[in-house]
Each structure stands twice: as C-alpha cells, then as structure tokens.
C-alpha cells in the first residue's frame, strides 16, 4: 500500500460537519459589518517580507520568530501573512483609497500563518476575521468598533465575553515610559526570564505581557503606562470609556494590556471568552488604534483603528446551533426507471430553492430510508413503479410525521407543495 500523506503540522482541514458552524458565523459577520458600512477586501496571502518587518515591528515575536518567510525563484524575500492589518494598509495606500472617501471601512476574512507552539486554539494556519477603519481620529470610532464586535459575539452565542481596554499612548508618550520601565527593571534583571532579559533592551513594554510565573511579582510592581500618558492621550481614552458606557458595553480597564504588535498608538483592547478547552488561549479578539502605520508605510498621515478575531477560537466558544437538516428532500428511488425519474426531478427542483439528494445507487428501500434519516433530510419522496405509472407520489415530513400527495408532472407545483409542507 502506498504511504499516506498527512496535512502539515498545525494546519487543519475543515470538513462539512465543521463548516456549517463557520457559515453561521460568517453570515452574521457579513450582516453586521454591512450594517455598519464596511466593504470586504481580499488581499494576497503572500506579501513582501519588508511589509511585516516595518509594519508589525522587528522586535515583535511575530517578526522575530513566527513568520513563514521564503525566497521566491527570483530571490525576493516573501512572507505568508501572519496578520492582515499591514496588508490592508498596503492596499489602502497602493489604491489611494483616501482619494475616494475621507473615511474607509474595510473588513476581511482569511488564513493567517504563524510558526507557533501548538495547542488547542493555537495553530500555524488559522483564520481571522477583522475590520479596519481609516480616516477617523475621534474616540467615537474606537467605541463603535468595540461595541460592534461585542454585539456580534453575543449575537452568535459567545458566552461570558470579557472586554479589556487600555491605552498605550502616542509614540512620544511611550519614549518616556520606556525609560521608566528600563530604570525599574534593570536592577531586577537577574530575576527575569531569558525573553524578558533580552526584551529589556529591544522592546521593554513587552515585559508587561510576559506570562512566565516567576516574572509576575516583578512585573506587578512596574510603573503604569497610564501615569505616563500625555494630556491628549488621556482625554481620548477617557472619552472612549465614557462612550463605551453610553453604548452599554460591559468592559474592564486593564492597565497591563499592551498587545504583541508594535503599530498601536492609543486605545488597545482584547476580548476574552472562557471555554474549558481553550484554557490559556482565551483571547478571542484583539485590536486598537494605529495612527502612524499608514504614514510609516509611505502613505498619507491617516488615523486608523481596527481589530481581528480568531475564527477557530470564536467557533469553539459558540453555542451549539440547533441541529439543522442538511437537505430539504431525499428522493428514495426503487428501481432503474425510478432512479432516472429521481435524477431528472431533482435537477428540475433544485433551481426552485430546494436542497435535494436523490438516491443514485441501486439499494434497498430500507437502506435508503435509513440514509435519509441519518443525513437529517427534512422530507422524503418515494418513487417506485406505482408512482411512475399514475404520476402521483407522497412527500413525508420526517420529524412531524405529516405527509402530502403531490403530482409529479407539475414541477413548480411540486416545489411549492414541498416548501409549504416544510414551512420554508
Ligand atoms: P492578534 O492579537 O495577533 O492581532 O490576533 C488576533 C486574534 O487572532 C487573536 O486574539 C486570536 O484569537 C487569533 N490568533 C492569533 N494567533 C493565533 C494562532 N496561532 N492560532 C489561532 N488563532 C490565533 C492581530 O492580528 C491584529 N492584526 C489585530 C488588529 C487589526 N489590530 C488592528 N487591526
């Protein structure tokens, strides 16, 4: 026997039994984002490595050790996108979107790639859904996005969603804060983990995000960023908090929330959802304001705000939907002539809005009814010699045990009768 080939570690298949729940979430996203005026953008999976190095930050975990980077045959360094914010900003600049409208609202969904240690909820290929808004500096958009995502999560059945917010201030605020941090941590460096020791010199704010238990008592005493924020950042953040209250979003301020990407300026937030299987991976979404990214990538100075959520993690936290029928009608066919009639009838009925499986194999009536039941068909229509001879058949509603006699010759009438029996 030939040796089998398996999928790449950390990259999963999604089977039809999984994708049904994904479709429910995707439909809710489309509906909610459209209701706020977002248009969908689709960008390439592969971008120039420079885009992520400059956009996300050289000293971040993502750029330092998690990117799938390779040289193409022309010797260019390319990277499979680890996130979408940098790619969206690149497209925003490349297509001069600011010329069309002062405010641009984009949403996206797609696979991202990060070479991470795997566990439930953390994969090397994972899906994100996200939104980015360009052109609004006001706190209103920060609050609107957080409220929109919270509303979306609640509407698809995520339970106990916790919203954490903080402000990381402007680039200038952070220069001063970094100095305070280095002054605080340097004398305590011997007690820090290896990553923290290194970051103390490359990216001291990331120390606040460290999860290593032995670092926690040291981190707990660190000076707070909030105290180092300038007047404008403090006023903006207070406005966000008051708007969130006005919108009725339950939130908690988390002064230690710094996020793992370097482009943030001002408001940052995360949403957590408690699920026994997720454990430490309970952060379902993250985002914030990034007012300097577009300009740093060569575009016009443009304030921006966005977020992304991990689809696998959101799906794990979603309430089980009611089990749904996968087909509306199963046509059980007894004999060769009936199979041919079933094939033709199904072909004619599907464009009229019915999902149909007609039995294409020669199997017993019992096996066919069992199959209809197992696949969760809502109704069964049986075709045999009698039905073919007199042109009438019976459609049975499987769950409600109701039935209706139908004429096979009138396809629109047949479709209408099946739909009215099923209430669709
Ligand atoms: P992020 O926090 O790196 O932010 O990722 C957002 C979400 O993607 C996480 O909260 C998590 O649910 C999911 N995620 C991240 N890594 C993995 C993984 N290895 N496996 C499964 N899920 C994962 C960003 O990516 C920013 N671009 C968000 C943003 C948009 N900020 C502004 N605009």
Query: Model confidence over 14-33: pLDDT tens digits?
Result: 998 889 889 999 999 999 99
Q: How confident is the model at residue 279 (pLDDT cuts 50, 70, 90)?
A: confident
Non-local (6+) Cβ contacts of 203 within 8 A are 57, 59, 60, 262
Looking from the CA of 61 toward its CB, the CA atoms found within 13 Å total 13
**Residue 92, pLDDT score:** 98
Ligand 1 centroid, distance to 6 Cα (angstroms): 26
CA distance readout (Å), 113 to 16, 94, 376:
23, 23, 36
Ligand 1 centroid, distance to 27 Cα (angstroms): 20
Q: How confident is the model at residue 82 (pLDDT cuts 50, 70, 90)?
A: very high
**Does the C-beta of 170 come closer than 6 Å to ligand 1?**
no
pLDDT at 281 over 70: no
Beta bridge partners of 380: 330, 396
Q: Taking residues 276-294, what's their average pLDDT?
A: 89
Give the closest residue (by CA) to ligand 1 atom 18.
122
Ligand 1 centroid, distance to 127 Cα (angstroms): 9
Burial label for 362, CB within 10 Å (0-12, 13-18, 19+), is exposed
pLDDT at 55 over 70: yes
**Residue 321, pLDDT score:** 60
* CA 64 to chain centroid: 24
**Residue 323, pLDDT score:** 64
**Residue 280, pLDDT score:** 64
Enumerate the H helices of 320-401 as residue ranges.
336-349, 365-374, 385-390
CA 156 – CA 178 distance, rounded (Å): 40
Across 97-171, where does the E strand assignment appear?
104-113, 125-134, 161-167
For ligand 1, mutation pick of 128, 132, 290 (most atoms within 8 Å of CB): 128
Q: Taking residues 82-97, what's their average pLDDT?
A: 98
**Residue 322, pLDDT score:** 58
pLDDT at 63 over 70: yes
**Does the C-beta of 286 come closer than 6 Å to ligand 1?**
yes
Burial label for 248, CB within 10 Å (0-12, 13-18, 19+), is exposed
Compute and round to an integer the Cα radius of gyration of the chain.
28
CA 320 – CA 54 distance, rounded (Å): 41
Looking at per-residue confidence, does 320 or 331 come out higher?
331
**Residue 387, pLDDT score:** 96
pLDDT at 419 over 90: yes
**Residue 199, pLDDT score:** 87
CA 326 – CA 378 distance, rounded (Å): 8
Ligand 1 centroid, distance to 199 Cα (angstroms): 21
Q: Taking residues 202-216, what's their average pLDDT?
A: 88
Ligand 1 centroid, distance to 288 Cα (angstroms): 12
**Residue 298, pLDDT score:** 97
Q: Taking residues 176-188, what's their average pLDDT?
A: 92
Q: How confident is the model at residue 48 (pLDDT cuts 50, 70, 90)?
A: very high
**Does the C-beta of 306 come closer than 6 Å to ligand 1?**
yes
User: Model confidence over 120-179: pLDDT tens digits?
Assistant: 899 999 999 999 999 999 999 999 999 999 999 999 999 889 999 999 999 899 988 989
Looking at per-residue confidence, does 276 or 82 come out higher?
82
3-state secondary structure of 249: coil
The answer to whether the CB of 284 falls within 8 A of the CB of 171 is no
**Does the C-beta of 133 come closer than 6 Å to ligand 1?**
no
**Does the C-beta of 114 come closer than 6 Å to ligand 1?**
yes
CA 25 – CA 218 distance, rounded (Å): 41
Give the closest residue (by CA) to ligand 1 atom 17.
122
**Residue 225, pLDDT score:** 86
Give the closest residue (by CA) to ligand 1 atom 23.
310
Beta bridge partners of 131: 107, 307
**Residue 414, pLDDT score:** 95
């Amino acid at each position: 026997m030939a040796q089998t080939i398996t999928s790449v570690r950390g990259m999963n298949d999604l089977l039809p039994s999984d994708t049904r729940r994904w479709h429910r979430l995707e439909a809710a996203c489309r509906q909610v984002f459209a209701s706020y005026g977002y248009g969908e953008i689709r960008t390439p999976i592969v971008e120039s490595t420079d885009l992520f190095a400059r956009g996300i930050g050289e000293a971040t975990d993502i750029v330092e050790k998690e990117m799938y980077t390779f040289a193409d045959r022309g010797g260019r360094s390319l990277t499979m996108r680890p996130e979408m914010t940098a790619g969206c900003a690149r497209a925003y600049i490349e297509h001069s979107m600011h010329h069309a409208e002062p405010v641009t609202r984009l949403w996206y969904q797609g696979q991202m790639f990060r070479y991470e240690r795997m566990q439930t909820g953390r994969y090397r290929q994972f899906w994100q859904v996200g939104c980015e808004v360009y052109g609004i500096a006001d706190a209103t958009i920060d609050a609107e996005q957080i409220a929109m995502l919270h509303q979306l999560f609640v509407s698809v059945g995520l339970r106990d969603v916790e919203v954490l917010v903080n402000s990381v201030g402007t680039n200038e605020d952070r220069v001063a804060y970094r100095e305070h941090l280095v002054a605080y941590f340097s004398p305590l460096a011997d007690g820090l983990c290896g990553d923290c020791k290194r970051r103390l010199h490359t990216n001291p704010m990331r120390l606040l995000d460290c999860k290593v238990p032995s670092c926690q008592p040291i981190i707990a005493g660190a000076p707070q960023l909030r105290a180092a924020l300038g007047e404008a950042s403090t006023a903006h953040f207070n406005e966000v908090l008051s708007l969130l209250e006005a919108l009725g979003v339950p939130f908690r301020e988390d002064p230690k929330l710094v996020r793992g990407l370097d482009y943030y300026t001002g408001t940052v937030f995360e949403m957590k959802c408690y699920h026994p299987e997720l454990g430490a991976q309970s952060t379902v979404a993250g985002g914030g304001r990034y007012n300097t990214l577009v300009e740093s990538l060569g575009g016009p100075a443009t304030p921006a705000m966005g977020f992304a959520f991990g689809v696998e993690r959101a799906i794990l936290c979603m309430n089980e939907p009611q089990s749904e029928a996968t087909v509306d009608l199963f046509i059980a066919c007894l004999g060769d002539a009936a199979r041919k009639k079933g094939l033709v009838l199904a072909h004619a009925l599907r464009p009229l809005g019915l999902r149909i499986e007609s039995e294409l194999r020669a199997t017993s009536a019992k096996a066919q009814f069992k199959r209809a039941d197992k696949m969760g068909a809502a109704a069964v229509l049986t075709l045999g010699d009698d039905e073919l001879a007199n042109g009438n058949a019976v459609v049975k509603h499987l769950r409600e045990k109701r039935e209706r006699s139908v004429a096979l010759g009138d396809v629109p009438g047949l479709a209408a009768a099946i739909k009215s029996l099923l209430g669709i």
